Amino acid sequence: MNPLDAFPVTRKWPPSQPQYLQLYSLPTPNGVKVSIMLEEIALPYEAHRVSFEDNAQFSSEFLSLNPNNKIPAILDPNGPEGQPLALFESGAILLYLAEKSGQLLPAQAQQRYECIQWLMWQVGGVGPMFGQLGFFHKFAGSQYPDKRPRDRYVAEVVRLLGVLEQRLQQRQWLMGDTYSIADIAVLPWVNTLLGFYGAGELVDFARFANVRRVLDAFLVRPAVQRGLQVPG
């Protein structure tokens, strides 16, 4: 018996490599944050696709791992004190993996909290606002004749992009010369805004030259390119 057998989620998604970290996800902006992080730190993992088409996120097995029924979630057989750790919320997972690996989070306290600040900025602002714009621009909300809800989120996304543009002025990454979990948290959402949501023109993205520059540098990283395809 391996330590993961005690977790019901492994009955629906049996691990073929139970010694590896188990990732339950989809290639969404939040999902790829974790797969990109895992690729960047070169931590062995096994990815499982939580299909929304058959409502797998509402299965009892997945809910036993994440009662909030959202991806991503992880199950690490080699957690703190050598015990398995189940964890959900992409921001919490990024912090955990940074601390576990000793990578992509500054060690110096002031810089560390500054990095966490930008992580929380993404979790509390960029993700929810960009996601709502996606709903009103690409998905069901696009059919609403009243465009005021959409325009409200357009204005907030533009504001957030302005904050990011200013932060990246004369900086290579959000934390200056140092690539970090802040970049891994924020940039997949910018990529989705332009790509999958097709909202670049709507937010006049051309004016955000620094964001474009840093996004382009992010997208050519080999670990990012691999992580964006997980799970396949």
* Model pLDDT for residues 60-99, shown as the tens digit of each residue: 999 999 999 999 999 999 999 999 999 999 999 999 999 9
Q: Which domains does the chain have, with CATH numbers?
A: 3-101 (3.40.30.10), 109-227 (1.20.1050.10)
pLDDT of residue 84: 97
pLDDT band for 2, please (50, 70, 90 cuts).
confident
Given this model, what pLDDT does residue 157 score? 98
pLDDT, mean over the chain: 97
Map tokens 């576990």 to a residue.
Answer: 100
Chain CA centroid to CA 82, Å: 26
Question: Looking at residue 26, what is its pLDDT?
Answer: 97
Q: State residue 140's pLDDT score.
A: 86
Q: What percent of the chain has pLDDT over 70?
A: 100
Q: If you average pLDDT over residues 12-35, what whole number do you get?
A: 98
The pLDDT of residue 221: 98
pLDDT value at 134 more than 80: yes
